[in-house]
């Protein structure tokens, strides 16, 4: 039976992944490593994993990935077959003002996990990267071979560094690594600082929403369920070193995103515009041909359907008291 160690497992994508993995007969144990970072309300993260705590296949460790000694004990006790590394400081704009923190968590933390995965002969190390590595310099749609030397913020730079570090562990120690560059993830259990969540909350509270860049910037929003499927397929792949884009491959403007959100809510927003942040890219657009070829993966949930599901979840779980 396989043991899967998921870092950041109490968070948005991690908890959705664990929920899915618990249904797999081939998975005998799931090890969740999360420090319950207070960047947003830790109660949400505890709520995310609460349904798993009574499952005998699930084990939670409140541990910071910067603490190699603590991680070493977990690896020794649990002997993971696979590592899915989701834990990260992940706010692009905040990373501009907190580069030391982003370097320590996203680079040193990743190095700790690579070292231990090498030592314990993990069958496949899944590194969750980001479309932020492309910055504004790549040609759309962004292919994995595109230019990634000029990310706009320390967050994107830290993800590029993680990919490069992971390659050295494949090259020198034959650790199988699959890097997944995720494009604008959204869906159930999303972080409350991200755009769709914030918009839904403000619209329900009849407060203005912020629209940056006159709403013309485009984003390739990707549903969390599709991302979970990609991660599970990548775990099975486990050959050599790969970088794969995981995106919906259908960018939409923020204006279009707002229209879909208003339709799902049945309410109109009051819009307040602001200039784009200098660390925010103009657009994201995934070329997913390689993921189709290597993993047999492609997105299944349209943005319209995904927003309907997400809005329902928010109303049922976060905003029950709002009309």
Active site residues: 155
Buried b (16+ CB within 10 A) or exposed e, 65-81: beebebbeebbeebebb
The DSSP secondary-structure symbol of 52 reads: G
Written in H, E and C, the secondary structure of 143-192 is CCCCCCCCCCCHHHHHHHHHHHHHHHHHHHHCCCEEEEEECCEECCCCCC
Euclidean distance between CA atoms 77 and 175, whole angstroms: 20
Structure tokens at 61: 């460790």
Structure tokens at 32: 């969740």
- Measured from the Cβ of residue 62, the count of other Cβ atoms closer than 10 Å reads 12
Euclidean distance between CA atoms 122 and 304, whole angstroms: 38
Determine contact, residues 314/203, Cβ cutoff 8 Å: no
Residues 6+ apart with CB under 8 A from 13: 86, 128, 182, 185, 224, 227, 228
Euclidean distance between CA atoms 156 and 80, whole angstroms: 28
Ordered alpha helix ranges (H), 40-121: 42-49, 68-78, 92-97, 99-103, 109-119
């Amino acid at each position: 039976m396989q043991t899967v160690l998921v870092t950041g497992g109490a968070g948005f994508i991690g908890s959705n992944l664990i929920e899915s993995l618990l249904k797999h007969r081939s998975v005998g144990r799931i090890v969740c490593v999360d420090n319950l970072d207070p960047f947003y309300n830790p109660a949400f993260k505890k709520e995310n994993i609460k349904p798993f705590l009574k499952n005998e296949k699930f084990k939670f460790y409140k541990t910071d990935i910067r603490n190699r000694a603590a991680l070493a004990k977990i690896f020794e006790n649990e002997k993971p077959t696979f590592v899915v590394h989701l834990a990260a400081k992940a706010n692009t704009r905040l990373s501009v003002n907190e580069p030391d923190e982003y370097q320590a968590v996203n680079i040193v933390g990743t190095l700790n996990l690579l070292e231990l995965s090498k030592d314990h002969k993990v069958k496949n190390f899944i590194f969750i990267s980001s479309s932020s590595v492309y910055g504004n310099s790549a040609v759309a749609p962004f292919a994995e071979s595109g230019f990634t030397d000029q990310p706009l913020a320390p967050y994107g730079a830290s993800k590029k560094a993680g990919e490069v570090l992971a390659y050295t562990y494949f090259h020198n120690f034959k650790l199988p690594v699959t890097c997944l560059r995720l494009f604008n993830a959204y869906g159930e259990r999303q972080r409350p600082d991200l755009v769709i969540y914030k918009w839904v909350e403000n619209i329900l509270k009849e407060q203005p929403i912020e629209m940056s860049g006159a709403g013309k910037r485009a984003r390739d929003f990707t549903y969390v369920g599709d991302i979970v499927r990609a991660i599970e397929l990548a775990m099975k792949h486990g050959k050599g070193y790969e970088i794969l884009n995981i995106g919906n491959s259908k960018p939409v403007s923020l204006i279009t995103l707002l229209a879909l959100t208003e339709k799902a809510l049945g309410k109109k927003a009051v819009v307040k515009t602001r200039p784009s942040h200098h660390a925010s890219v103009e657009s994201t657009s995934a070329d997913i041909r390689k993921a189709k070829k290597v993993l047999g993966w492609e997105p299944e949930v349209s943005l319209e359907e995904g927003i309907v599901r997400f809005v329902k979840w928010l109303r049922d779980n976060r905003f029950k008291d709002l009309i």
